[in-house]
Structure 1
Amino acid sequence: MLDHVEVSRLLDILGNRNRRRIIELLRQKPCFVTEISNRLFLSPKAVIEHLNMMERESIISFFTDDRRRKYYFLQTEFDLIVTVKNTKGKQRIASLPSADLRLIESLSMLRRMARARESLLDTLENLERDIEATMNDIVRMTRRDGGQDIDLDIIITLSHQDFTLDELADILELDQLVVRNSLATLISRGIVTQDGQRYRIEGIYGTPQS
């Protein structure tokens, strides 16, 4: 059984929605960084940060394939169950003044925030469905035009933010020459452009936050 400190750390990790999404994805099968990034539409940098945190807590681990690409998987399977017990009569509860205006206002605000959160979650679910549909379109168009898997990995990664050649090779866990050749092809097709040392999708300006 986990002690109080371990439970607190676990709750801190699971308190982040994107880490919960990563865990649910890894329940299905081992995945590499760009695969997680593409499936959940998170920036590779954010994915790596979440994975590193969960790896430190021994929640996940990884193995490498013959291309030295890291595949992450759940090291420990677990279920979190929260039980709420009625302790009426067992604990002395201080009575609150019925005319406490601040309390009433706070409770009213809490209800409004809870409703707003539910509305945002519904909007987020719809957005994620739209993202998944768009991702499927991108995959279909890339393969229809004879693009390679590495081309798809690069353009999806660059759709999150701009990267240098070194950063792309590190994130994709590929040799720089392979990445450079793919970038040259994408540039010749007018899909990717180079700005100094950084590469970005043509027509996309500004770098999204991770």
Structure 2
Amino acid sequence: MDSAELLDLLGNANRRRILRLLAQKPCYVTEISEFLGVSPKAVIDHLRKLEEAGLVESRTDDRRRKYFSIAENLRLEVNVSPYEFGTKSAYPASSAVDMTSCRYLSIEVNGTVPENGDDDATDLPELAETLQELEQLENELSLAQRFVQGRLAAIRERIADAIADTNPRLVTELLAALAEDDLETEALSKRVEAPTDVIEDVLAKLESEGVVTRESGGWHLGDL
């Protein structure tokens, strides 16, 4: 999809709210309608546009209810400055983005840019060279973002497959928090912005599967 068309599509607040909801779990129309506080007919129209754009996909369960979920791993960049305006989108198909051509993965600051009023025409060749290097760095950082985004999506999918019947977004946030530090249930609840009872249920399931354990310092990841 063209980046400008994608920007128009995501310009609608309710469509953004639908995507935020679907990022947590697959939902059917009635759930989305109740969450948004709008009619099912309006929800169906939003879902149709998102599905046509390839951002959302649907499936029908055994009870013939149609569930919707996010279909693509997408990044949209919008750049607004006195020198340019543009949008760029990327659909990383996998985490195997080739990073070997990147030259500036270790960023070095070479000199300083003159302040306004201190410009000297003799500096222009050096500034032009620095400009070219920074533009190259910008392109490589965009590539690195795609690479990281693809890896994140792949890892979240593996976690979702490993932890059945549990909100994969919540599980990934909990595991990421515990990878950083041991935390008590209340601290985890604040970190991931979820009710304590919900966190307790998820932690109990993870503990039963040996993923996390609880000791005096709080919850922590099981032995790797």
The structure in which a higher percent of residues are helix is 1
The structure in which a higher percent of residues are strand is 2
- TM-score normalised by the chain length of structure 1: 0.40
